Amino acid sequence: MENLIIIFLIGALAIFVAFYFLQQREIKSISNQLEKINESRTNSKLLISMPNKELEKLALEINKFLEKKQKIEAKYKKMDLELRQAIVNISHDLRTPLTSIKGYIQLIEDSTLSSDEKSQYISIVKKRTESLEVLISNFYELSRLEANEYKFSLKSINISNMLCDVMAAFYNEFQDKGIDPAIKIDEKVPSIIGDENAVRRVIANLIQNMIKYGDKIIDISLEQHKDVIIMDFTNDTVGLINKEDVSHIFDRSFTVDRTRSGQSTGIGLAITKQLVEQMGHKIYVELIDNKISIKIEWRYL
């Protein structure tokens, strides 16, 4: 009887020791896996080789944490890349007018110039300076929007009247570019909720974008669809935008063909998206048969 008890105790102790060493080996394996995952920064998951509910539960929680960590790292990596690209684009956009201003100032300093020539160059410098001021103002405005520091004064807005007013302000630009926009506006659509200055800025940005980058074929419409009012700006992209670009068109670092457009940053559309969404509305883009359509879904009263 005593021998049986001794054998049983020895067996139990052996099982305990074996289980202990297996657990230690598993814990060491977990530690090694975590070290490799941390060093390689891969999307690998933690694996458990022995059946143990507590270790499996621990591994599950660690994997959830790793997944969140990887998503955060990917997000910040993307933001860092976008910031770097934005800085490159901003540098280009600032350098272009600055170089132009510097060149004209050097011409103005030429003593052989006539008064009329100097006046002409001074006028050009003034225009370039104003463009530079607008560009810097846009960068500042976007930074405020992204930091949620922009203050909105929301109220009822007659969106059809607003659209007509803004389009009328671009009459000369349409004429200069030979653009005869096809306009379809339902004047009976309900009023929307928004900040008057922000809504005006959104419409102006989209029209400016169409004039600057699009072809002479422009369609602008405003209609009610079920529970939203859809404002649609459609024009031919003349090959500047492809399907791969569509998902990035509102990125502040978005770049079109610089040789054809003359400007690199998509900061105007980035501002537009921020303004629309922070007022509680929706903006999106579609590309069909080389025609780009930017739509805004306005909520109404």
Q: Which of 220, 252, 246, 7 is nearest to 140 (CA)?
A: 252
The strand pair at 182-185 and 154-157 is best described as unpaired
Q: Under 8 Å CB-to-CB from 36, ≥6 apart: which residues?
A: 44
Reading the chain (301 residues) residue by residue, the pLDDT tens digits are 666 666 666 666 666 655 656 666 666 776 666 777 666 666 677 666 666 677 677 777 777 877 887 788 888 888 787 777 777 777 777 787 888 888 888 888 877 888 888 888 888 888 888 878 888 888 888 888 888 888 899 999 999 999 999 999 999 998 888 888 899 999 999 999 999 999 999 999 999 888 887 777 889 999 999 889 999 999 887 666 777 777 778 877 676 654 444 444 468 888 999 999 999 999 999 988 778 899 999 998 7
Q: What is the pLDDT of residue 200?
A: 95
Phi, psi of 136 (to 5 degrees): -65, -40
Q: What is the pLDDT of residue 14?
A: 63
Q: What is the pLDDT of residue 259?
A: 42
Q: What is the pLDDT of residue 20?
A: 58
Amino acid (one-letter) located at 18: A
Amino acid (one-letter) located at 104: Y
Give the count of beta carbons closer than 10 Å to the beta carbon of residue 30: 18
Domains of the chain: 76-146 (1.10.287.130), 155-299 (3.30.565.10)
Q: What is the pLDDT of residue 257?
A: 53
What separation in angstroms does the CA of 199 have from each of 165, 168, 178, 233? 12, 15, 26, 15
Beta bridge partner(s), residue 235: 218, 292
Amino acid (one-letter) located at 48: I
